[in-house]
Amino acid sequence: MLSCVYILLVWSITSSLATAKNCSGESSDTSTESPCLWTMIKQLVSMENRLNQFMNLSNHNHLAINKVEGKLEKDEEIKTKVKILEDCCKKQKAQITSLVSSFGTQKRECRSIQAKQTAMISLLKGNQNKMMGMQLEINKLKKKSFSCPDDWVTFSGHCYWFVYRKVTWNIAKINCQQKGGYLAKVDSGAENSWLISKLKAEVWIGLNDIQTEGHWRWTSDNTGLSTSYWQSPEPNGGRAENCVNYCKKICEQKTYGWNDLPCDYPIGYVCEKHL
């Protein structure tokens, strides 16, 4: 646009000078100068108008250029902001990528921990089952340790084994010892009554006067009599009868009671031991 203005301006001045030259030539030819000056004045006025128009046009152009430059500056600002935003986006993208990677790692770690937990739970369940099995065994052992062996009968914290195979008093005594017990010792009326209720035949008990006639003692602890449950008129055998049994049929009685009998007489026996 400025180039165009410049060309028009040069063209106008050149035209004016040409006109002036013509006018000078004409004046020398015609020797009348007034019409030529008038023409020059008109041309100068016309030139001034054109110059004013060019000035106005130039001002407009200048304003337009300023606007364009302002827009360009704004564009630069926008570009700068866009670049900042792009950089920010890149950073955020990098952070997101890092977070995704970290999340993946944590996820794998969680799965690994979960697998370990599952294995531990399985192991604990196995151990729990083993412990339950062991507890059952312990309970069985406890029950066994606090109960009488098979074939023995429990009464008041003691175990009793009734044997009706006929043997002498000494063999009966040895058999009871081999079973970890002794020939029964009767300490109370309750025990005497319970034994009688269980009897199916005559049996040896631990009472005897082998060492001294008439001095009755228990073979289990060598203690004497505190109470007795003799059949009437027992004991009556003197030195011939030194071992005691529960007697009913032999004594021709209806209920069982104590009787002294020769120690080599073959009858059954009852052993006793603590729980």
Nearer to Ca ion, 191 or 234 (CB): 234
Six-digit token pair at 191? 């025990």
Cis bond before residue 233 (omega within 30° of 0): yes
164 near 268, Cβ under 8 Å? yes
Nearer to Ca ion, 160 or 258 (CB): 258
Nearer to Ca ion, 145 or 212 (CB): 212
Supply the minimum distance, in Å, between the C-beta of residue 216 and Ca ion: 8
By CB under 5 A, name the binding residues for Ca ion: 209, 234, 236-237, 241-242, 259-260
Supply the minimum distance, in Å, between the C-beta of residue 238 and Ca ion: 6
Q: What is the C-alpha to C-alpha distance for residues 245 and 174, in angstroms, rounded to an integer?
A: 16
Six-digit token pair at 46? 């016309």
Nearer to Ca ion, 234 or 272 (CB): 234
227 near 259, Cβ under 8 Å? no
Supply the minimum distance, in Å, between the C-beta of residue 213 and Ca ion: 5
**CB within 8 Å of 72: residues ≥ 6 apart:** none
Nearer to Ca ion, 25 or 262 (CB): 262
Q: What is the C-alpha to C-alpha distance for residues 207 and 258, in angstroms, rounded to an integer?
A: 9
Supply the minimum distance, in Å, between the C-beta of residue 259 and Ca ion: 5
What are the backbone angles phi and psi of residue 227, rounded to the nearest 5°? -150, 155
Supply the minimum distance, in Å, between the C-beta of residue 154 and Ca ion: 31
Grouping H, G, I as helix, E, B as strand and the rest as coil, residue 141 is helix
